[in-house]
Every structure is written in C-alpha cells, then in structure tokens.
Amino acid sequence: MKKKLNILLLCVVAIAFTACSLAGDMDELRAKAGGGKRIHKQERYPANPLWASMIYRYNSSGVLVQQDYYADLSSTYLTAYTEFTYNSDGLRIKLEQFDAVDDSLTYKCEYEYNSAKTLTKMDEYNDDGMGGMMLNSYTLFTFDADGKKTFEAMFGSDDTPWDTYSFEYNSSGKRMRTTVIGGGPPYSVRSYNGDGTLKEVSMLYSSPTYTRRFIWENGTTTDRFDDFARY
C-alpha cells in the first residue's frame, strides 16, 4: 500500500488533482470557464521532500499544460514537473512527469475514453531503471448518469486486484469523501470555501496523514479535475 500511495503522490487528480476530469465540482468549473476561477496552487501540510507546493500552469485557452512541484511553500525550489498531452477532442491522453534536475522521465499515465468521451481507463508506468518505462498498474473508472465518478478499481500489471475506491457526494453533487472499499478510515475527506471552490482535502489513508490546501485564481479553464483526482 505504501508503494501505491507514493505513486499516487506523483500522479495528479486529480491528483491530482493531480491531477486532472469530472462532473459535480467540474460542472461548476465549466460554468465558470468564461471568467471564473481555476486552481492556481496546491500546498501540502506537512510538506515532504517530494513536494510542499504545486503550481498549475495553463495556456491562453485555459488548458492545463503543466504542473510544477516545489520543495517549499514559496514555490522556489523546483523538484519535478508534469506535462500533459491532449487529443483533437481536447481530452487528456497522457501525463508525463520529469525530474527537475536532469529532465529524465520518471512516471507516466495514459488515458482511454469511450465513444461518449467518458474516461474509462488509466495506465500507470514507472521508470524501469534501464532507460525505459514499465507498466506498474491500471485503473478502471465508473461514472453515473450525471457524469460523477462513482468507483475506481485499481489492478497491478499482472491483473491482480489492488484497491477499489468509492466516491460520496452531497445533495448538491459535490464530492465529500473517497473510501477504500473494505479498508479502514476514509481515503480522503473534502471541505469547501463559501463560494463553492475546493478548500482542503484531508488525506487520511496515508501514513502519516496530511492535508492538501487549494489556492484559486481568476481565469478560464477546460480542466476536468475530478475525473482524474482520486482524493
């Protein structure tokens, strides 16, 4: 489980947010895309050597093109960066993470969609130590009729079942918590600002536990955060 949690920290919902596709909260983001708010930064409390803060970078069309990971809350010491690739329909098809020191590829995600352009599968690859990438795991997604993600089923590269995650929403369609089916405490619990934007996510399944804090900025976005974010 520790290995999978480390992998999760590198993939961004999201994870990122981490991540980043959905309904519920993303319906809100789509509605605001003409001049509302988008995620500018994540801060992690307490910080760890991998990242203390993460900056989201968008192009002029509001497409998320890069996430930068920093070892400090002031976002000065870059440790890694993630680049995103999209198809002609504007759907994210690839995430690649690079080491900031030598620009080496350390982690990769590839995404698949059905004919309705709904996310169905994510393949995760790690550095194989020999200059290439190897499949580490894959995840299958289930969405309800309203477009909200309801389940993620994660498998090892040998098809061994790992964890299955369920997602709970309030009456307004906002995601409130993620739970590992058959596991212990909730995987994560969310809280929101008064304007409905995501405020914090308490990551309760990891050891030690930590909190992701979100800082928003004015601007357009086409990002579909909740499709990709497990938390």
Helix (H), strand (E) at residue 203: strand 198-203
pLDDT, tens digit (0-9, with 9 covering 90-100), for 131-188: 889 999 999 999 999 999 999 999 999 999 999 999 999 999 999 999 999 887 899 9
For residues 22 and 140, which has the higher predicted lDDT (pLDDT)?
140
What is the C-alpha separation between 123 and 209, in angstroms, rounded? 26
Domain-by-domain residue ranges, the chain?
A: 2-228
The answer to whether 205 touches 183, Cβ cutoff 8 Å, is yes
Kindly report the average pLDDT of the chain as a whole number: 86
Residue with tokens 């058959």, as numbered in its chain: 182
pLDDT, tens digit (0-9, with 9 covering 90-100), for 175-202: 999 999 988 789 999 999 999 999 999 9
For residues 130 and 142, which has the higher predicted lDDT (pLDDT)?
142
Residue 83's pLDDT band (boundaries 50, 70, 90)?
Answer: very high
CATH number of 2-228: 2.40.160
What is residue 147's predicted lDDT score, i.e. its pLDDT?
93
pLDDT above 70 (res 3): no
What is residue 29's predicted lDDT score, i.e. its pLDDT?
38
What is residue 39's predicted lDDT score, i.e. its pLDDT?
97
